[in-house]
Chain A
Amino acid sequence: MKVNSTRFGTFEIPDDHVLTLQKGLLGFEDRTQWVMLDHDLEDSPFKWLQSREDPDLAFIIIEPSNVISDYQIEISQDIMKSLELASLDEAVVFVLVTVPEDPTRVTANLLGPVVVNSEKRTGLQLVLNNENYSVCHPLLADNPSDPSSP
C-alpha cells in the first residue's frame, strides 16, 4: 500500500507492515494506522513513526534502553491481553522523542511508552504511574536515575 508523507515523500510498504495503535497516541486518538521507518543515518538508535492517515504527522522514536539502562514498566494483564502478548519478552517498547531547535535539549517521554506486539502489528501508548520517570527526560544530559552514567 501507498503511504504519503510530508517528510519522506510517497512510498510503498507491504500491507502487513502497518502498525495499529489501538487508541492512537494521546492527543492524536483518531490516528491509529502507523508505519515505522528506519532513520537513514548510520547506526541511528532513532526511528520514525509515520502516520498513514496524516502525511504531516510523524514522530521520532527510540527504544528506552538507549535512554536509561534500567527502564522498567509494568503492564497489566488486561493490556497484555488486548495486545495479545503472552509475555513481556515478546513486547517491543519505544518512547517518543521531542527534538526542539536546540539539539542539546532533546528529550524522551519515559512516562508514556508505546508497547507493541511486533508480530501482531498492534500497540498501545501507556500512562505510567512511575514517579521516577518524566515526560521530558533529557537525552543528552547526565542523568541521576541511571546508575551506569558517570
Chain B
Amino acid sequence: MLVLTRKIGETIAIGDQIKVVVISVKSGQIRIGIEAPQGIQIYREEIYQRIQEENRRAAQSQPDVLTSVLDLFKKKKKD
C-alpha cells in the first residue's frame, strides 16, 4: 500500500481523473472530498461489507416462517 502524508487542503491525484482532498481533521475524524468520474462508485467500505453480509443472511431466510411474517405484516398495516 502506498502511504502519503497530506495536510488539510492538500490533494492526492489518482490517475488524471480522481482527486482526493483532505478537508478537515477533528478529534480523530477526517473529512475527505472525492472527485471522480461518474462511472466510479464511491461508498464507505463497511457499508459495502454490511450489505454483503446481510445478503448472505437473507439467502438463509426461512421460507416456512414467511407465512407467519405475512400475517403479522397484514395485522400491522391494519393498525
Contacts and interface: CB of A to CB of B under 8 A. Distances in A.
Contacts of B69: 46, 99, 103, 106, 139-140
Interface of A: 7, 25-28, 39, 41, 43-46, 57-60, 76-78, 96-104, 106, 109, 111-112, 125, 127-129, 135-136, 139-140, 150
Contacts, number: 104
Interface of B: 38-39, 41, 43-44, 47-48, 50-63, 65-70, 72-74, 76, 79
Contacts of B76: 140
Contacts of B79: 150
A34 to B, nearest CB: 13
B54 A98 contact: yes
B61 A99 contact: yes
Contacts of A129: 43-44, 47
Contact of A127 (B48, B65, B66): B48
Nearest to A61: B58
Contacts of B38: 76-78
Task: Give chain A's interface secondary structure class.
Answer: loop
B66 A100 contact: no
A57 B59 CA distance: 6
A59 B61 contact: yes
A100 B60 CA distance: 8
Contact of B54 (A41, A77, A96, A128): A96
B39 A27 contact: no
Nearest to B49: A26
A53 to B, nearest CB: 13
Given A44-B70, A45-B73, A77-B38, A96 B65 contact: no
A100 B64 CA distance: 10
Contacts of B50: 111, 135
Contacts of A44: 70
A98 B61 CA distance: 6
A46 B72 CA distance: 13
